[in-house]
Amino acid sequence: MDKVLGWGILATGWIAELFTQDLIASNLKVSAVGSRSAEKARTFADRFGIAKAHASYEDLVDDPDVDIVYIATPHPQHVSAALLALEAGKHILVEKPFTLNADEAREITRKASEKNLIVLEAMWTRFLPHMKRIHEIITAGTLGDLRSLTAEHRQFLSTDPKHRLNALELGGGALLDLGIYPISFAFDILGAPSSVSSVARFKDTGVDAEVATLMQHKGGAISNTVSALDCAGPNVAVVYGTKARIEIASVWYAPTSFRVIDQQGAVIEEFTETVEGRGMQFQAFEMETLVRSGKPSARMAPEDSVAIMATLDTIRKQIGLVYPTERATT
């Protein structure tokens, strides 16, 4: 029988709460939680019935009952937390965006390779049932040749200038928190772009309030993405081909439905499936499969995470967005 793998939750914020809920609801083992605050670690552990609460990240990654560390810190701390866990011999699931820039992403994937450990970006959308089915449809040729993709991620979020999302030193702004979803989606469907063009507008705190990208991919296919943190939107996506298109309902990056529509407007497939919880358990299932097989993910390979961060670096250069705490990019 396969060993039951133990998860360690590194950091105790909102996203860690959501993921831990899905882990527990899916009967996966959460062995420990770690925070830089003993009080926060204990409060989190008590809330979710976790046996161990560690008052430091170092103690968490050294816990022998932890096999996989889920890293849920603010973006600038991903690289240090990831390297800490890898040095301790732990496999890691790193929240998106993977890092602040491509250099940090390369540092993590290089260390994981040296240690022969699994590293996976927590782009949970890629592992959802509707995304799995979309890939099956595309592979079957139902859409014909892919021509373009549009996707948006708009939300009306906190206007407090002290909030993490509005703090430049914490990697705040629309691009890393929201734009990562449609840009990663474009990579997933159309591959890495050969050209990128970006525009943005900014908030008074210096973070990007809205970012739009126009990218060209293999075969001339085009992707168009928009992300904003100060105006809500329908958050839909469409993939266009020469034979048909896929219209993904709101909210496209979470468990949802879609329709496949041919060029005459006829619906040739309609997908609906009920998912328990938020749907973050599917990335956990993927992670445990990878750990047991010892092989990197085919759906979200480490080199994909590096390539996406490199594209985000290009976008930031074009719009003039620099994070004061990041390491130099190449």
Residues designated catalytic: 96
Residue type, 257: S
CA distance 28 to 90: 17
| Gap between the Cα atoms of 71 and 78, Å rounded | 7
Exposure of 15 in the CB half-sphere (CA atoms within 13 A): 17
Which residue matches tokens 């008074």? 204
| C-alpha distances in Å from residue 54, one per residue of 6, 16, 64, 71 | 15, 15, 13, 14
Cβ(307)–Cβ(187) below 8 Å:
yes
Question: Which alpha helices (DSSP H) does 116-225 contain, by range?
Answer: 129-139, 174, 180-190
Distance CA 45, CA 56 (A): 14
CA 140 from centre of chain: 26
Q: Is there a contact between 50 and 30 (Cβ–Cβ < 8 Å)?
A: yes
What's the token pair of residue 201? 């507008």
**Spatial contact of 7 and 266, defined as CB atoms under 8 Å apart:** no
Q: How many CB atoms lie within 10 A of CB 157?
A: 19
Side-chain-side CA neighbours of 140 within 13 Å: the count stands at: 9
Cβ-contact 86, 108 below 8 angstroms = yes
SS3 245: strand
